[in-house]
Structure 1
């Protein structure tokens, strides 16, 4: 014996074939209500996303404005720092200028007094330079030539001295905060 079961067929509204008109109307109304509910949910979700998008756009604009303001403030601070750094350095040089003027004001100064005054003024100037991080570059004879801090004027024969070492300093160099302002001018031992 064979068991033939027939599966019911359904129309596009999900109703079994042969459903009455009333069942079809109820199903249609339920379908429309469900569609309206889904549409309302989607519209609410769209409004929520639009509000979030507006909020994020405003946050982005505020962040951009803050970055621009920060950059502008940093530029102003750098400008002020440069201006006041020069002002501070100039202010610290004024006592040196005063000492030079005072020395020149003495009409009957002896050579010894002039020398003492010049030495005192030089000490004062060196103190001002050191306080402002301007340091001498004065390599010792026999030290290794450093192209970052020294400028070789010439190479000279130097018996008993290694090649590429400083023989003599012709002019001291200076650096400020580990940056070379002026390299020391030196003569260098030639290879033998």
Structure 2
């Protein structure tokens, strides 16, 4: 009886061994497959991370180019607008310079008439001519002012400004501070705040 049981147990053990081996092999194979899958997943994640970084760099580059292009466009628009405005303001600059010569002649003509001759009743024709010149000069100055052209006539004692004045000479002048305008030989003009013609002046200096 004992011999029969031993033989039966050995037979069952021999039949069970291939199954155990197969199960062990499957478990080992499954572990290897999981490792391969994990490696593939890690490689894929690494590739996606690299691709993401490249896309972010490209996006940053495109964004920077867009911002620069936008800034260039805005600068161009601003410059173009400034050019149009300057053209409107200073487009008459050449005409104004020509008219200044006429204004100078009128001013010299009125200054050349002696004041006693004007106030005297002996020569009414001269007085009428003088009054006409004065009225013409005033009207011309009104037209100039209407278009932004104003006379630049520095008062005595005003500090010399190289942007508005042109010094013809420097000389000691009694009662004048050094570096100030002592005498004006020819008035200047400004067009919309920009010096069109500097005033010709003599500048006082220290003795």
Both structures adopt the same fold (TM-score exceeding 0.5): yes
Q: What's the CA shift for 1:36? A: 1.4
* CA deviation string 1:20-77 (max 9, x = no partner): 8766544322221211121222233344444444444443443343334333333332
Q: Structure 1 or 2: larger helix share?
A: 2
Matched, 1:118 2:133: yes
Q: What's the CA shift for 1:114? A: 4.5
Give the structure 1 partner of residue 186 of structure 2: 171
* CA deviation string 1:80-107 (max 9, x = no partner): 22322245x57x98xx9xxxxxxxxxxx
User: Paired residue for 2:143, among 128, 134, 137?
Assistant: 128
Q: Structure 1 residues 131-140 or 29-38, which shifts more? A: 131-140
How many pairs are equivalent? 156
Give the structure 2 partner of residue 16 of structure 1: none
Q: Distance in 2 between the 1:163 and 1:55 partners?
A: 65
Q: What's the CA shift for 1:171? A: 0.8
Asked if structure 1 preserves the Cα contact closer than 8 Å seen for 2:189 and 2:198, the reply is yes
SS of equivalent to 2:137: helix
Residues 73 and 151 of structure 1: CA distance in aligned 2, closer, same or farther (over 3 Å): closer
User: Paired residue for 1:152, among 167, 171, 195?
Assistant: 167
Matched, 1:180 2:195: yes
SS of equivalent to 1:124: helix
SS of equivalent to 1:59: helix
Residues 164 and 72 of structure 1: CA distance in aligned 2, closer, same or farther (over 3 Å): closer
Q: Distance in 2 between the 1:165 and 1:73 partners?
A: 43
Give the structure 1 partner of residue 84 of structure 2: 80
Q: Structure 1 residues 24-33 or 34-43, which shifts more? A: 24-33
Q: Distance in 1 between the 2:178 and 2:74 partners?
A: 53
Q: Distance in 1 between the 2:49 and 2:178 partners?
A: 81
Instruction: Compute the TM-score of the two structures, normalised by the length of structure 2.
Output: 0.55
Instruction: Compute the TM-score of the two structures, normalised by the length of structure 1.
Output: 0.58
- Please tell me whether Structure 1 or Structure 2 has the larger radius of gyration of its CA atoms: 2
Q: Distance in 2 between the 1:54 and 1:189 partners?
A: 67
